[in-house]
Structure formats: C-alpha cells, structure tokens
Amino acid sequence: MRIYLLILLPIFLIACSSNENVVPPSPLPHFKSQVDIEKLWDIRVGNGVGEAYLNLKPAVTERWIFTASSEGLVMKLDRLTGKREWKVDLERTITGGVGAGYGMVALGTGNGELVVLSEDTGELLWEKSLGGQIMSVPAVASGRIITQTIDGRLHGLNREDGAQAWLYDTVIPVLTLRGESNPVVSAGATLAGFANGKLVALDTKTGFVAWEQLIGEPKGRSELERLIDLDGRFWVADKVVYAITYQGALSAIDVPSGRTLWSRPMSSYAGVSEYLRTLYTVDEDSVLHAMDAISGSDMWQQDDLKGRRLSAPTAYDRYVLVGDFEGYLYWLSYRDGSFMARVKVGVKSYRAARDRAGSLHNLTLSTEGLRVEPIVYDDVVYVQANSGELAAYKVVEEE
C-alpha cells in the first residue's frame, strides 16, 4: 500500500498546482538582451519524457553526450557537433536519467531495472533488477555504480557485473514529491538524499554510514503539512555539501564530519548550485535567490520569474542559468540577477502542448518546458527539454 501511495499521491500534488493557493505564472519578462547567444546544434531525442512527469538528465563527458527518452531510446552524441555516434532502442520505459563513466552508460527503468551499456558501442553489458522504480541518475564510480530506488533504498553494485556490494535502506513517508535527488560520489564518499528529508553520507566501497542529517524539521499535523522531501539537486564544493528540502531548510554541511555549518528555513523542489562561493537556489514559488555560501546570508533575489516553475539554477562564468515551464532558458547576471539573454527551446512542441492544455495556467500539468537543469561544459550550455529537444548554446564573446 505504501508503494501504491508513493506513485499516486505525488500526481495529486502536481494536480493541486492548478488551484488558487498556488502562485500563478508571472508574464514573460521584457528586457533588452545584453549578450548574444549562438545555438551550436540541436537534435531530437525521441518524444522526450512523453506524458510522464520525469527528469531525464543527459550525461556530458569530455567528448560525448549520452541522452535518453522515456520510450527507451538511448543516444551517444559528439559534444561539439551533435553528430550521432550510435542509437539503441532498449524497448522499455526509462524513468531515471543517464549516468556515464569508466566506459559505461547506466540508466534506470520504471520496472526497477538498472541497465548498463558499453560507452563505445551501446551494447548491453549487464542489467540488474532492483525491485523499485528508478527515477534518479545512477552514479558511475570507481568500482561501484550507485543507484537509488523510489522505495527508499540505495544500492551499491559492483561496476563490472552488477553484483550487490551493499544496500542502504531507510523508511520513507507515505506522502512524497514525485521524483528523486541524484546520488553524488565525491572523494570516496557517496551522498544521497531521501523523501524523509535525510541527507546521508556513506563509504562508496563498503556502504558504511558515516553520518545522517535531517535537512529541516517536519511541521504541522497533516501528512501534507509535514511533507519534507529532499527531491532537488544538492551540490558538493570544497568538502561542503549544500542541500535544500521542500517545506524544510537550506543547509551547508561539512562532508568529512557531517557537522552542520549553517542552516536557514527555506523550501524548494528544484535544488541548488554553487559557484565562486555564491550559492544559488530556486524556492517553491520559483523565486531565484543568491546567497553567500560561507554564511548563508542573502545577496540578491530575482522574483520576475515567480510562478514559472523554474528548473534548478546552474551558475558559470558571469551568468546564472534557469529554465521555465514554457521552454525558455534565461541567462541572468551573477552580480544582481538582472536579465542578460533568453532563448526558446522546443518551440513547436510547446505550442502544441499549449493548444492541448487550453491556457498557460493549465500548462502546470504539461510535460513541456525545461524541467532538468542546464549543464555547462567548457562554457557551452547543454539543455534537454521535456519534449526531447537537446540543444547546445554559447555566449558570443565581443571582440
């Protein structure tokens, strides 16, 4: 019964976004572009997430991009040109994003299978049934592949053959957000967040639990009021992990010791990023916040995108990137959050979804737009729309 509710109740939460208690989307902001954006290439990856509420994140390596669609298409692309090297149809539903490394590509399915392919050829190396739906990105590490399932389990598998090396299990509440944060491997430690608001650090090789921290405290009497889910992206930098929960808190934790450096009440389902000691997060109303990473004190906030269901932010160079539910990708100034540029990703598919939904407001239930955070590699921005369009952009530098 618990698993049944885990699947259905998050859909109810999404459906609630159409009521009067939720912040309506702000109109598209008007501004004069401060920088020019060049589209380097784009490609269609099947039907994207289809009609499902998923976060299918691509994997970007030094030379390649590995991407997938919910209907089972997996592609290897040249990072610089977008040229396809191979395509594989797994003929199964992909629900977790793509992990890559050590010559392997790993994906999770709706039936709880971890599928591992050869990075060179796309051929199946091995697969493992884990018993619970996989909605997170597998972490491919030295000797291990770390995979999280929706039933609150973290699996440490032998990278070569999928044999179970260790298992971490935690109790999750009946009511959760639909989705999972992605486990992160850093300096021999695996960090993972769960629907009960816990952030856990384990030894990647042995699964030994170094520490557990609750990010915020559940409040209220009802299950909905006490919902505290670590669903968004957390970030590791300089041996500090920054994590935020829905209806909970934003915390900075020392990775080696598990000691909380600072914490402040805040709510987000998207997540955080850090760049040059500045922390960026999008709260539950889609207000973008910039804070000092050392103290957690406020620096600026941008609320002109309020209600536009923003992705997690990604910061690089002089910019902060966010995507919205209409498929717009924004470049904002890292100094004050002012708008620098904007492009539209997946234009045709968005217009079709708008026509089907009947209005902008009803698109809160749509699978269109940008849900996965942008990825930056060598100052090139890669973004995958829910519709399946994967595109690469770069700021045109002035001569």
Q: Is residue 293 part of a domain?
A: yes
Neighbours of 118 (CB within 10 A): 15
pLDDT value, residue 228: 74
pLDDT value, residue 10: 41
Chain-centroid distance, C-alpha 145: 18
Q: Is residue 82 part of a domain?
A: yes
pLDDT value, residue 66: 98
CATH for 80: 2.130.10.10
Q: Is residue 342 part of a domain?
A: yes
pLDDT value, residue 187: 87
Host H or E run for residue 383: strand 380-384
Tokens found for residue 290: 């910039």
pLDDT value, residue 22: 73
- List, as own/partner pairs, every contact residues 46-49 make where C-beta atoms lie below 8 angstroms and the sequence separation is at least 24, other chains included: 46/70, 46/71, 46/73, 46/388, 47/71, 47/387, 47/388, 48/346, 48/349, 48/367, 48/384, 48/385, 48/386, 48/387, 48/388, 48/389, 49/367, 49/371, 49/386, 49/388
Q: Rounded to whole angstroms, how far apart are CA atoms 268 and 246?
A: 5
Number of domains in the chain: 1
Domain hosting residue 318, numbered range: 2-7+29-396
The runs of H, that is alpha helices, within 225-381 are 347-357
Q: Is residue 174 part of a domain?
A: yes
pLDDT value, residue 19: 45
Chain-centroid distance, C-alpha 166: 25
Q: Is residue 105 part of a domain?
A: yes
pLDDT tens for residues 373-384? 999 999 999 999
Host H or E run for residue 15: helix 2-15
pLDDT value, residue 2: 39
Q: Is residue 22 part of a domain?
A: no
pLDDT value, residue 27: 97
Q: Is residue 139 part of a domain?
A: yes
Q: Is residue 72 part of a domain?
A: yes
For Cα atoms 179, 242, 157, give the angle at the middle one, nearest 5 degrees.
55
pLDDT value, residue 227: 72
Give, for all 399 residues of the chain, the pLDDT tens digit.
334 334 333 443 443 434 456 789 999 999 999 999 999 999 999 999 988 888 899 999 999 999 999 999 999 999 999 999 999 999 999 999 999 999 999 999 999 999 999 999 999 999 999 999 999 999 999 999 999 999 999 999 999 999 999 999 997 766 666 667 899 999 899 999 998 889 999 999 999 999 999 997 767 666 676 677 788 899 999 999 999 999 889 999 999 999 999 999 999 999 999 999 999 999 999 999 999 999 999 999 999 999 999 999 999 999 999 999 999 999 999 999 999 999 999 755 445 444 544 444 444 444 579 999 999 999 999 999 999 999 999 999 875
Q: C-alpha dihedral over 357, 74, 310, 53, to 10 degrees?
A: 50
